[in-house]
Structure 1
Amino acid sequence: MSRICTLGRLRALLGALLAVALVPGAARAIDINSADYLPAPAGTNLLLFYSQYATRSEYVSTSGVSVAQDTSLDSYVNILRYVHYFDIAGVRMAAQALLPAGTLYNGRLGGADLDSAAGAGDPIFSGVVWLVNNKASESYVALAPYLFVPLGQYDASQALNMGENRWKLDLQGAWYQGLGNGFALQLSGDVIWYGSNTDAGGGNQTLTQDNTYQFQAWLSYAFAPTWSAAAGYSRFWGGTEYLSGVATGNATERDQLRLELSKFITPTFQVLALAQRDFNTSGGFPEDFRGTLRLMQVF
């Protein structure tokens, strides 16, 4: 009986959980690739397309309750991203926009069907400023706020949603340092603030959430003129959720390992592949695997 009650409570809270945790860059801070904070020359434009697939087979609450039997959740998300670099008073800056869309499917929690969701996610708008831009020493320090606008698909009566129905602000700081002989290190930190979702819990409750924090580290190696490989680590913490003031058991606590490989097919077109896996998760669905294919056109 206690297991049935626990599963019922978890299922009732999925509307609060899944709208926040599954669209890349949603409840989490903005994930970055290994050279994202290596600035391009002023006047450069980037058009990027991300295709991401992720699979999950377990839910772990903040209290340690783990539900693995008959539990699954898959997602397929595409993101279109545009970046423009420019200078103001000799300071390198960039403006960018990200437009996600996709589907959540194969959703089950302890045998309970969660149906599916499809549509646009919340668009993201950002500006980047490089506080340090030293090409000679390959040293770069940047600051970037990301604003999430609640325009994505959201239905309070559904357990799965692509949008969050709330405003969100992520402030990200990063340091990129060339180490010589083709090696480079990139470190970043995020803090993300959440607005309230006043249409949660079936439409008559308010979802609030503590700040989420993230640390990301990448070590990359350009082993050939057009090839680069990288290994990365990410740590998320915080993000405890509350539904009408009561903790839901959901949060954003997890570690993640990453491997990346990229190649410039032409001087202006790059293909990048990324594999990720979560571990030490508390308060969510750990990703058994997330694979990303990124296409980038420079113009």
Structure 2
Amino acid sequence: MSTSIRSTVLLCPFDATALASRLAGSPAVWRLIGNRPSHRLWHVGGPKASVAVKVTGGENPALALVRESAALDAMPAGNIRPLGSGANLRPAAPLAWQITPWAGLTTWEALRPLREGAEEEREQALAAAVATCRAIGHLHAAGWTHGNLAPHHVVHPTDRGPARLLSCTWATRADKPTSAGYDGGLVHLLSPELAAEMERSRGSAVLVDRSSEVYTLAAGLWWAATGSWPLAYHAYRKAGFDPNTQSRSRLQRVIASGDVPITAPASYGCPEVLAPLAAAMSFAPNRRPTAHQLADWLNNSIPSRRYGDS
């Protein structure tokens, strides 16, 4: 065993190491792909399977991973299910781990051709955008919301199966509030009404409804397709406003105000893709499309092309 693999195994609890190696088959090759102080992620590949192994340390990260494993077990059929999970929540050194199937490219990765103008891969990227909407549509139809939706949290299996959801720590039934401590996910993708609620809640539980999540879905696809935020911060009425230097709370207040316009689709390439996304974000909450309707809008924006399942 090489030094890198030996050190990787030592950083992973024995039960998780043994299960991941057994699931992958021998020889199992471990590759560290995420390495933060409280979070490590490995891809483990072998002749039988490829799996993802996530390990978290520290009270809040460990509890979050335990909550995510429970949510994945309870979420509607067709989503990723943990192949194994465990936790040791001793106060001195809390730790949790989770193993899931290795799912494939994220929506962020799948939409790279749109960001880079790669015309020959455009059709496949558009299919991934529609599949992302379908995945959220199925989740909403089953009475759930994701709560932390972003292009990096939806994956597209290599077997061309339906898109699946990752980072489900805050997933909940649509009529139930989140756990306390919910931060709303990536602030630039928040709907104005959820940003306002986050400001009011100050860390208390909030209700994430499907309309707010459709806004986030459209905003995240815009970001993945262009590499830029969907809001035109440069047009904000206060001169010199730089979103990269603002605190999260300040950005939430600005987004909640509704004073920041959505960037005009024509200012980027692929306007026929961005126009439906801009429309979904522009509507008042009670007039927004469902996730399935947004998928149809994206389909219909490209004459002669149809993607995704109904």
TM-score by length of 2: 0.24
Higher relative contact order (CA 8 A, sep 6+): 1
Higher helix share: 2
Normalized against structure 1, the TM-score is what?
A: 0.25
